[in-house]
């Protein structure tokens, strides 16, 4: 079966960064915590593959550890969104038309109504800037997304005959939601999860840029961009590489999400 081209390209690009993040757990070319002022603001090349920043830290190493931070924050935030949002969506669909459904969906709309990044900034400002609070803030805004996607997919499945057969076999709504509905909307959730993952990385970068995400000395792509602002005219490499990292990761994940949708979404299935 030929995989869609987007999927392969997206997966390849994302894999590079995920690999970097995983490798950084055991090894980075240079330590990111030691400052080496003598070697600061070196251009790419020589011993430092991507150059150094204003404290003499190796940019490549910082990118790898930053990848770890971004990916960890984004994945856990998506996890929160799924763990809370999917059951809410299943609950709403199983009780469609009832007061419970209305409450869940209007709650959803309420959270959607708030501008997510600004509220995230507010949460981290109130609770204190840290990676954990960034996860919380981004995760909260993933919940309504998954709830809505789950409910939409589940609603169309409730009308099918095999759900009716399960009801005739005496199964309750909760059991049917898990056994029959969840297994058949998994495709939708995988695609949405991939897309939310890429948005999560972008959100984390945004929070770190304003200083409310992961705190130094833990490197983060957004923070690297912020630090490079004043030095961009004579050390552009400090801004270019973190920026490229963000762009390529988000693009790769988006492509992968699109490619997976082409592969997995049964409604888009065509004769090959």
Partner 1 sequence: MVRGPYMLEVRDLSMTIHGTDILRDVSFSVGAGEVFGLVGESGSGKSMTALALMRLLPRGAQVSGEIRFGQTEVSRLSEHQMCGLRGRDIGMIFQEPMTALNPVQTIGDQVAETLLVHGASTPAQARDAAAQRLARVGLDPGRVPLDRYPHELSGGQRQRVCIAMAVALRPRLLIADEPTTALDVTTQAQILALLRDLVADDGMSLMLITHDLAVVADMADHVAVMQSGRIVEADRTECLFRNRRHAYTAKLFADSAHVPARRPEVAPVPVLQVRGAVRDYPLARRRLIGPRPLFRAVDGVDLTVHEGESVGLVGESGCGKSTLTRAILGLEAVQGGAIRLAGDSVTGGHVPGAVRRKMQVVFQDPYGSFNPRHRVARLVAEPFHLLPTPPADLRAKVAEALEAVGLQGSDSEKYIHEFSGGQRQRIAIARAIVIRPKLVILDEAVSALDVSIRARILDLLADLQKRFGLSYLFISHDLSVVRAITDRVLVMRAGRIVEEGRTEQVFANPSHDYTKALIAATPQIPRAWLDGLPGPVSPA
Q: Establish if 184 lies at the interface with partner 1 (CB under 8 A).
A: yes
User: If you write DSSP's letter for every residue of 2-46 in order, what string do you get?
Assistant: PPPHHHHHHHHHHHHHHHHHHHHTT--SS-SS---GGGTTPPSBT
Q: How far is CA 216 from the centre of its chain?
A: 22
- Residue partners of 113: CB distance under 8 A and separation at least 6: none
Cβ proximity to partner 1, 180 vs 237, nearer residue:
180
Choose which of 42, 62, 166, 199 interacts with partner 1 (CB under 8 A).
Answer: 166
Report the alpha-carbon distance of residue 240 to residue 168 in Å, rounded. 61
Q: Establish if 168 lies at the interface with partner 1 (CB under 8 A).
A: yes
Q: Establish if 169 lies at the interface with partner 1 (CB under 8 A).
A: yes
Q: How many helices (H) and strands (E) does the chain have?
A: 10, 0
Q: Establish if 271 lies at the interface with partner 1 (CB under 8 A).
A: yes
Distance in Å, CB of 166 to partner 1, minimum: 6
Q: Which two tokens stand for residue 188?
A: 């939708």
Q: Establish if 112 lies at the interface with partner 1 (CB under 8 A).
A: no
Choose which of 68, 148, 180, 237 interacts with partner 1 (CB under 8 A).
Answer: 180
Distance in Å, CB of 61 to partner 1, minimum: 44
Distance in Å, CB of 84 to partner 1, minimum: 24
Report the alpha-carbon distance of residue 176 to residue 203 in Å, rounded. 35
Cβ proximity to partner 1, 183 vs 230, nearer residue:
183
Choose which of 31, 183, 229, 230 interacts with partner 1 (CB under 8 A).
Answer: 183
Report the alpha-carbon distance of residue 78 to residue 101 in Å, rounded. 23
Q: Establish if 174 lies at the interface with partner 1 (CB under 8 A).
A: no
Choose which of 164, 232, 244, 247 interacts with partner 1 (CB under 8 A).
Answer: 164
- Residue partners of 63: CB distance under 8 A and separation at least 6: 20, 50, 219, 221, 224, 241, 242, 245
In Å, the largest CA–CA distance within the chain is 76
Q: How many residues bind partner 1 (CB under 8 A)?
A: 16
Choose which of 162, 178, 229, 230 interacts with partner 1 (CB under 8 A).
Answer: 162
Choose which of 160, 178, 232, 244 interacts with partner 1 (CB under 8 A).
Answer: 160
Of 12, 6, 13, residue with least CA distance to 246: 13
Cβ proximity to partner 1, 54 vs 173, nearer residue:
173
Distance in Å, CB of 101 to partner 1, minimum: 16
Distance in Å, CB of 191 to partner 1, minimum: 17
Report the alpha-carbon distance of residue 174 to residue 198 in Å, rounded. 31
Cβ proximity to partner 1, 90 vs 238, nearer residue:
90
Q: Is 53 left (phi over 0), alpha (psi -120 to 50) or beta?
A: beta
Q: Establish if 170 lies at the interface with partner 1 (CB under 8 A).
A: yes
Contacting positions for partner 1 (CB under 8 A) = 160-162, 164-171, 179-180, 183-184, 271
């Amino acid at each position: 079966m030929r995989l869609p081209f987007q999927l392969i390209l997206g997966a390849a690009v994302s894999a590079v960064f995920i690999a970097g993040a995983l490798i950084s757990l055991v090894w980075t070319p240079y330590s990111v915590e030691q400052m080496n002022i003598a070697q600061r603001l070196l251009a790419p090349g020589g011993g430092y593959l991507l150059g150094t920043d204003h404290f003499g830290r190796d940019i490549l190493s910082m990118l790898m550890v930053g990848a770890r931070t971004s990916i960890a924050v984004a994945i856990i935030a998506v996890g929160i969104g799924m763990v809370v949002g999917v059951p809410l969506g299943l609950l709403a669909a199983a009780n469609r038309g009832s007061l419970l459904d209305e409450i869940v969906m209007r709650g959803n709309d309420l959270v959607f109504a708030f501008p997510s990044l600004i509220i995230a900034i507010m949460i981290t400002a109130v609770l204190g800037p840290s990676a954990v609070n960034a996860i919380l803030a981004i995760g909260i805004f993933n919940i309504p997304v998954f709830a809505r996607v789950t409910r939409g997919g589940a609603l169309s499945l409730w009308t099918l005959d095999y759900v009716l057969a399960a009801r005739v076999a005496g199964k309750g709504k909760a059991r049917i939601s898990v056994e029959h509905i969840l297994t058949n909307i998994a495709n939708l959730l995988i695609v949405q999860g991939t897309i939310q993952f890429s948005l999560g990385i972008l959100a984390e970068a945004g929070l770190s840029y304003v200083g409310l995400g992961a705190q130094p000395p833990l490197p983060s792509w957004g923070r690297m961009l912020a630090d490079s602002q004043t030095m961009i005219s004579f050390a552009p490499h400090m801004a270019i590489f973190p920026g490229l990292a963000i762009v390529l990761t988000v693009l790769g994940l988006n492509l992968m999400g699109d490619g997976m949708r082409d592969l997995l979404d049964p409604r888009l299935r065509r004769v090959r």
